[in-house]
Structure 1
């Protein structure tokens, strides 16, 4: 795109991008340091060095700011363009992905923002919809596609409802994460894969 600014005029696009990134960083930092309930638009603005009107011009709420900041953060991760592994061994691939999910859950950089978004999404239907559509659904589709490949290869019985099958893996993990009553470990996710793939009855 050609720069049509008069000579010597400030580049507002760069200034806006700097402000946006400062707001992202401020929102993520405050949620981690003080918790979601104590994080405010005013606090984010002060931390980012912008006016709160700037934030309201771009986002309707602090939840919207946090969601976009977290999506940006996830996109910057080394595995931001992540593809589900397909080694030909479905169980091994599922174990690898679920172990990585547990590691991410325990990462303090991600833990506070994702908990805040999950909790707010229960209260605010619009936040919940955006949380699911923009954050969860892309990940669940990767699971579904990997199961579809396994089904086509004959590793799973034909005719499965693949979305329900995906929930057998991620549902229990999410449940344990939300309750915080039992530890989330690699051993636990390995058991999830074993139970979901092979069932509970004697083999």
Structure 2
């Protein structure tokens, strides 16, 4: 007598989670964070809203998890890990490479919509804001710190410079322009930010 194999609950759960992630990202991109609802995400994903509430306490939590999943998939596509910070020996060139990539990410419609939503929600939700910083921002900023410390060891950056403050000279202007949307965020602008910052970082005669 033939036996029927029991459904793989874990695989079904993974499919549902991925569908919910994709639905959340798509809806926020299409209609914005405010108009996106748990009910809408559930309908787009083809699940009951009780399924979502079983795994996440809020719409913001769903979006955070979806964003982390998106970053993980991007890392897999890149070969299994997040790309490192280039170190060609030319600090200015390496910084321009990374800031240009940051500009492209911030101008990407999907990433822009989600990042704006999480940034705004993190201001009013301290717990979510801390998670956003810990899981998304700090790992990226740590790469800047490592590269700047290597530049210090090579004598390309003054020994007394604090890498954590120095990286804010690079990231801060991009985020300021991106948040205000008053001026275009371009590669040329990223290059100028590096040139201005480097002028204050290089050894003094």
Normalising by structure 2, we get a TM-score of 0.91
> What 5-or-longer segments of structure 1 have no aligned partner?
1-5
Q: Which residue of structure 2 lines up, in the alignment, with residue 118 of structure 1?
A: 119
Structure 2 unaligned spans of 5+: none
Partner of 2:183: 182
Report the Cα distance in structure 2 between the residues aligned to 1:75 and 1:97, rounded to whole angstroms.
Answer: 19
Alignment partner of 1:158: what SS? coil
- What is the CA–CA distance in structure 2 between the aligned matches of 1:126 and 1:7, rounded to whole Å? 46
Q: How many residues align?
A: 196
2:20 matched to which residue of 1?
23
Are 2:4 and 1:43 equivalent residues in the alignment? no
Could you tell me how far apart the structure 1 residues matched to 2:105 and 2:140 are?
A: 13
**What are the superposed Cα offsets for residues 83-135 of structure 1, whole Å, 9 maximum, x if unpaired?**
00000100000000001110111111211111111111111111111111111
- DSSP-derived class of the 1:157 partner: coil
Out of 66, 90, 107, the residue aligned to residue 69 of structure 1 is: 66
* C-alpha distance in 2 between matches for 1:109 and 1:82: 20
Deviation, structure 1 residue 7:
6.0
Counterpart in 2 of 1:3? none
TM-score (norm 1): 0.92
Map 1:77-116 onto structure 2 (within 5 A): 77=74, 78-79=77-78, 81-116=82-117
Question: In structure 2, what is the Cα distance between the partners aligned to 1:192 and 1:164?
Answer: 15
For 1:7 and 1:171, how far apart are their aligned partners in 2? 59
